[in-house]
Amino acid sequence: MYEIPDGRRSGGGAGGGCVVVLGVLAALAVLLLGLNLLDEPSRNVPPPQSTSSAPALPPRTPSGRGPGVVIIDTVQGLRNTRAAGTGILMDASGHVLTNNHVIQGATSIRGTVADNGRRFVADVLGYQRSGDIAVVRLRGASRLRPAVFGDSSRVSLDDPVTAIGNAGGKGGTPSVVTGTVTALDQVVTATDESNGTSERLTGMIETNAPIRPGDSGGPLLNAAGQVIGMNTAASAGFRVEEGGAERGFAIPSNRALTVARQIQRGEASATVHIGDTAMLGVQVRPVGGDVPGSPPPPSPTGALIAGLLPGTPAESAGLPRGGVIVSLDGRPVDSPGRLTDLLLLHHPGDTVSVGWVDPSGRHFTTGITLAKGPPQ
């Protein structure tokens, strides 16, 4: 069993769903990882059947130590940061549902089961970036008490709800806040401020429960204590533009479970990445990114190489700072986002053909074998 002995918990900071404590960040740069950029799943998919079910309970205010809540702490070693969020235990063997942005960039993940304090190393099984959904597995876990999932299609306006999470990234007993459902089927824009990319999250449940930093990935419960949503709040690096002090949003549980079950089955698709994440090792920004005093880029479009991570495939292949990546496997690259889209189709060990222009304007094509990197 891979439990982690109790010790001092890292976390803290301010700003939203996944609390991030910032260390040394590369200015105007983004670590570009080979992931699987994904579309929203179909909103017509029938709600999955949860393996955990229970009869409706009388209305109550659940304790933060109720079954199914997992405190998640991550280290983002390539960025020298730490982050904290929340997860929902799906079964007794340690599969945990959480937001993708909670585990994004993590080089190590630890999960603490809130109702008994057991701590585990966690591994990422897969994720859906555009839907902000991920599944991790607690190593060696067994006989845990999972959450009970309800049917999110039955949620109505003014329903009482309870949000549970690792507010403030403090660890310990999760916080409990209450409110009501204020809107359904909402569309919000979630922005990753580290690279400027954004995703549209549709069909969201809106609530006035005061969701705070660190609550992302935690359960939104109905009056019977059943999970009907997964909280998705703003953070220092992941911001929901439509959010506010009294506006929180949650991904409906039916949708989240549909994706989570696909991940558990190991079914990769155009919308779901399974397994390890590939890394090229470049830090990029858009061409024409408004850096005073910078020379004009050698290409009008593409992904401008702002930096290289030492010892990574990009550095070994000789890609230069100030160059511009313009294609991958023969497909044009007109922005950092497009480069990410194409890399998302690959895994560690894959060899890709990278077309690039050096600062003097000369064109090159180089075969590069991708390394293993953290999830994105």
Q: How far apart are CA 171 and CA 250, in angstroms?
A: 21
pLDDT of residue 250: 96
pLDDT of residue 66: 62
Q: What is the DSSP letter of 342?
A: H
Torsion-angle region of residue 302: left (phi > 0), alpha (psi -120 to 50) or beta? Answer: left
Tokens of 165: 């999470």
pLDDT of residue 293: 62
pLDDT of residue 291: 58
pLDDT of residue 190: 73
Element (H, E) at 283: strand 277-286
Q: How close are the terminal C-alpha atoms of the chain, in Å?
A: 27
Q: What pTM was computed for the model?
A: 0.79
Q: In the chain, what are the domains?
A: 19-29+39-264 (2.40.10.120), 276-373 (2.30.42.10)
Alpha carbons within 13 A on the beta-carbon side of 112: 25
Cα–Cα–Cα angle for 339, 75, 125, nearest 5°? 65
Q: How far apart are CA 321 and CA 308, in angstroms?
A: 7
Which residues of the chain fall short of a pLDDT of 70?
1-66, 191-198, 233-246, 289-294
